[in-house]
Amino acid sequence: MMNRLSAYLSASFAAVMLVLAGCSTMSRTEKQLARVDSFEAPDIPAMGQIPPSRPDMSGLEYAKDVLIVSYDEEVGKDPLKKAIKKYDAEVIYDYRIINAIAIRIPESKGLDDSIKYFEKVKGVLQVSKDRVYHLDDPVRPAVYVR
């Protein structure tokens, strides 16, 4: 009788340990997020929190005369290039990996008015201001140790 009870308890204990080791109320993704949250990543909400609907846009700085204009690949960039010339703007960069062109608008025209103008051009999908990013730590030359 004692042998049977001992075998039953051992088997029960092993089953409980197996369940505890293999099961959790957290999913694999939640565990990964918990690991990331432990490093206090500001852009990933803690478990149980609802992510913000929009990122915090305070403190952003924009170039005063540059716009990034995305266009539909099927329409092409010809209508956009004609509108750029007509608006007396200048192409700064024609992106090759995405369908977009960076343009410099004339000093006499405002950024918001320019956005409205280019949003109406055939094939334009999006017009956005060019953001300016500053390094937190200025770049310094490497120090050579001898």
**CA proximity to 84, closest of 63, 101, 64, 108:** 101
Read off the pLDDT of each residue in 14-31 and give the average, rounded to a whole number: 59
31-40 confidence digits (pLDDT tens):
555 555 454 5
Asked if 93 contacts 63 with a C-beta cutoff of 8 angstroms, the reply is no
Q: Domain locations in the chain?
A: 2-37, 61-131
Tokens of 122: 């055939």
Q: Which amino acid is at 119?
A: E
pLDDT at 29 over 90: no
CATH 3.30.70.80 matches 61-131: yes
What mean pLDDT value characterizes the chain? 76
